[in-house]
Amino acid sequence: MPANILDGTRIAQDIRGEVAADVKTLTAAGVRPGLAVVLVGHNPASEIYVRGKVKACGEVGIYSEQLTPAESATTDELLAQIEELNRRDEIDGILVQLPLPAQVDANRVLMAVDPAKDVDGFHPLNVGFLSTQRAGLVPCTPAGVMEILKRSGIALAGREAVVVGRSDIVGKPAAMLLLNLNATVTVCHSKTHDLPGVCRRADILVAAIGRAGMITCDFVKPGATVIDVGMNTVTDPAEFHRFFAGNAKREEAFRKRGSTLMGDVHPGVAEVAGAITPVPGGVGPLTIAMLMFNTVKAAKMRRGHRVAELSRA
């Protein structure tokens, strides 16, 4: 029996609707959440991502600014810009779009963001809050994974979860979030012995390794929930046919575009899993939705007393 498809697009729409309602309430109380996005240079992929984020802000009522330093910008110039944004009270969230140009010290720039405005959840202070179960800002993609699980009614307490991938952006925070909700968590990586065997123990399998179709049926326990975080572009026809031969709709789209987007999970896993996220339309839409959520959360946390006073007025 094919897996239940977990519709990330619908869940993201629900979250955006909730965020828009929150923004409306806050704005009526005199506090409009604000997000600043720093985009250095002209990376086409980054420009697409930023357009999507700015558009989403407009749709939910968040004030947004896009700052576009030149490709030649230095670390010191960016640090000065971040410091100015840190001081501005009307800016609740600061997002530095990666990658940054080679001459820029990305770690220094990211560390300069005020943790209270770190809507990406990358600052070590927010990582520490997550690991010790204190209130803070959580990285958007893993937070989206948890929303899919919660809103799909998938129980976590006491269940075995395996995360494939140990990145600071997805793998590690996803593992901490699962652990905080009482799952028994294993984190796998390139050095893990018998990776398929470890994955087959999972009731919930999170694939965030960055390799197209790596997670095959051999990795999946029948009936498991599989969350596919991967976003890989396949352009090689032989590789495409290895994954999608016989899928007429995909084949037609591949002929037109010369590429297709797929996750880290082989399409055949849908015949084994109990529930699975598609790519596209699974975890992806949640990332921007959770960025909007984090911006509003930052506004509430930064100005909590003021918001409470204005709401009572």
pLDDT in tens, 127-171: 999 999 999 999 999 999 999 999 999 999 999 999 999 999 999
Q: pLDDT tens digits, residue range 17-65?
A: 999 999 999 999 999 999 999 999 988 888 888 999 999 999 999 999 9
Are 34 and 67 contained in the same domain?
yes
Q: By CB neighbour count within 10 A (0-12 exposed, 13-18 middle, 19+ buried), where does 216 fall?
A: middle
Residues 158 and 221 in one domain: yes
- The catalytic residue among 22, 81, 92, 97 is 97
* Total structural domains within the chain: 2
Q: What are the CB-based long-range contacts (under 8 Å, 24+) for 216-219? A: 216/266, 216/268, 216/269, 217/266, 217/268, 217/269, 217/271, 217/272, 219/195, 219/269
Active site residue 168: no
Question: 211 is in which domain, residue-wise?
Answer: 140-287
Q: For position 46, what pLDDT does the model report? A: 87
Q: Is 89 a catalytic residue?
A: no
Point out the catalytic residue in the list 22, 92, 114, 120.
120
| pLDDT for 313 | 42
Which residue of the set 53, 117, 172, 221 is catalytic?
Answer: 53
Share of the chain above pLDDT 70, in %: 97
Domain of residue 79, CATH code: 3.40.50.10860
22 catalytic per annotation: no
Residues 109 and 147 in one domain: no
In a domain, 46, yes or no: yes
With beta carbons less than 8 A apart as the criterion, state whether 71 and 101 touch.
yes
